[in-house]
């Protein structure tokens, strides 16, 4: 069965932040060939520019644990493998570019599920010298998911003086971002144009940090601030 083509980007990345939620159950429909082409173009670009080995695996049901497939998921057949050379900061880099690809996929009409723990390490293992930090399942969801429970703005940030709109927009977006076990273990401090991000979430700190950075930059506007 062919899914109705959604080749035209149907929303911006910023808009995608608001409608993206984890989706674990998918339709038994292959991803449209034009969408696959666009995803692969973006993956190739990111890999070349940032020396990463992210790849898109299609029509392969072995990406996640059988336990998850039986009890929580349906038709999980396509996923991005988040891989890159083992180096300092690789978790954060893959979190950042994984977030970019996850939201890009959403603009193309796909749903997603970030899996940092319950994926099959063997099928995800990529090239020599590479580490894999997780997979992002992609497909046409049976639903669009639901908004996660969230902390309040005051719990995750502070700003010296009057909080500017760009900072507020950034915080609003990171409260919508996926984090491992929905911990939202981040804190942002703003002082003029300087923004400091700290993140506590154990094993997934680097990944969560990258995801949060990408969301904040999109919503706050890179031109308005600098990471401290
Ligand atoms: C780094 C990371 C690792 C994750 N690992 C898993 C996982 O192993 N299994 C799972 O079912 N969900 C996993 N998730 C999905 C989160 O539970 C989900 O993003 C979170 O509950 C927030 O919900 P939302 O994505 O709908 O906003 C992971 C998410 C992130 C960001």
Q: State the CATH number of the domain containing residue 158.
A: 3.40.109.30
Q: Are residues 17 and 125 in the same domain?
A: yes
Q: Is 180 in the pocket of ligand 1 (CB under 6 A)?
A: yes
Please tell me the distance between residue 183's alpha carbon and the centre of ligand 1 in angstroms.
Answer: 9
Cα separation, 19 vs 214, whole angstroms: 16
Domain ends where: 139, 173, 190? Answer: 139
**Span 42-73, pLDDT tens digits:** 999 999 999 999 999 999 999 998 889 889 99
Strand 194-199 versus strand 186-191 pairing type: antiparallel
In a shared domain, residues 117 and 163:
no
Is there an atom of ligand 1 within 6 Å of 117 CB?
yes
Decide whether any atom of ligand 1 lies within 6 Å of the 211 Cβ. Answer: yes
- The 3-state DSSP class for residue 84 equals strand
Helices (H), the chain: 13-19, 33-50, 66-71, 90-107, 121-124, 153-156, 165-174, 205-220
The residues, ordered by sequence, that sit 6+ positions from 107 with a Cβ below 8 Å of its Cβ are 9, 10, 11, 12, 13, 15, 16
Q: What is the DSSP letter of 8?
A: S
pLDDT at residue 115 tops 90? yes
Residue 51 lies in domain = 13-139
pLDDT of residue 55: 93
Which residue, 85, 112, 139, sits at the end of a domain? 139
* Contacts with 202 (C-beta within 8 Å, 6 or more apart), sequence order: none
Q: What is the number of structural domains in the chain?
A: 2
Q: Is residue 1 domain-resident?
A: no
User: What confidence score (pLDDT) does residue 127 get?
Assistant: 61
For residues 45 and 91, membership in a common domain is answered with yes
Interatomic CA distance for residues 6 and 43, integer angstroms: 19
Determine which residue's CA is closest to atom 6 belonging to ligand 1.
Answer: 115
Pick the last residue of a domain from 139, 167, 201.
139
Pair 23, 91 in one domain? yes
Residue 172 maps to a domain: yes
Pocket lining: 215 vs ligand 1, CB cutoff 6 Å: no
Whether ligand 1 lies within 6 angstroms of the CB of 205 is answered as no
Kindly state whether residue 7 falls inside one of the protein's structural domains: no
Residue 46 lies in a domain: yes
Distance from the CA of 188 to the center of ligand 1, in angstroms? 21
- Does residue 126 lie in a domain region? yes
CA of 228 to the centre of ligand 1 (A): 27
* 137 Cα: distance to centroid of ligand 1 (angstroms): 11
Residues 120 and 167 placed together within one structural domain of the fold: no
Phi, psi of 132 (to 5 degrees): -115, 130
- Segment 130-182, tens digit of pLDDT: 899 999 999 999 999 999 999 999 999 999 999 999 999 999 999 999 999 99
CATH number of the domain at 65, please: 3.40.109.10
Please indicate, yes or no, whether residues 123 and 181 belong to a single structural domain of this protein. no
Angle in degrees, CA 153, 105, 201, rounded to 5: 40
Q: Separation of 177 CA from ligand 1 center, angstroms?
A: 10
Please report whether residue 60 resides in a domain. yes
Q: 101-110, 117-126, 178-187: which has the minimum mean pLDDT?
A: 117-126
- Give me ligand 1 centre to Cα 77, in Å: 18
Which DSSP string do the residues of 27-40 spell out, in sequence order?
-S-BPPHHHHHHHH
- In this structure, the residue with its CA closest to atom 27 of ligand 1 is 178
In a domain, 159, yes or no: yes
């Amino acid at each position: 069965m062919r899914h109705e083509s959604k080749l035209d980007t149907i929303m911006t990345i910023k808009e995608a932040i608001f409608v993206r939620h984890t989706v674990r159950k998918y339709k038994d429909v292959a991803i449209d060939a034009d969408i696959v082409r666009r995803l692969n173009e973006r993956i190739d670009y990111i890999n070349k520019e940032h020396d990463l080995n992210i790849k898109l695996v299609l029509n392969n049901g072995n990406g996640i644990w059988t336990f998850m497939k039986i009890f929580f998921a349906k038709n999980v057949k396509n996923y991005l493998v988040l891989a890159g050379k083992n180096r300092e900061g690789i978790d954060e880099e893959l979190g950042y570019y994984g977030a970019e690809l996850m939201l890009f996929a959403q603009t193309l009409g796909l749903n997603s599920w970030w899996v940092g723990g319950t994926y099959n390490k063997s099928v995800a293992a990529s090239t020599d010298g590479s580490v894999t930090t997780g997979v992002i399942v992609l497909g046409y969801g049976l639903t669009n998911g639901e908004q996660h429970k969230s902390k309040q703005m005051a719990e995750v940030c502070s700003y010296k003086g009057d909080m500017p709109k760009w900072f507020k927009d950034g915080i609003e977006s990171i409260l919508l971002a996926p984090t491992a076990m929905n911990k939202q273990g981040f804190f942002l401090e703003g002082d003029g144009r300087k923004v400091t991000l700290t993140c506590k979430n154990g094993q997934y700190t680097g990944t969560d940090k990258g995801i949060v950075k990408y969301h904040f930059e999109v919503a706050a506007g890179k031109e308005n601030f600098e990471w401290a």
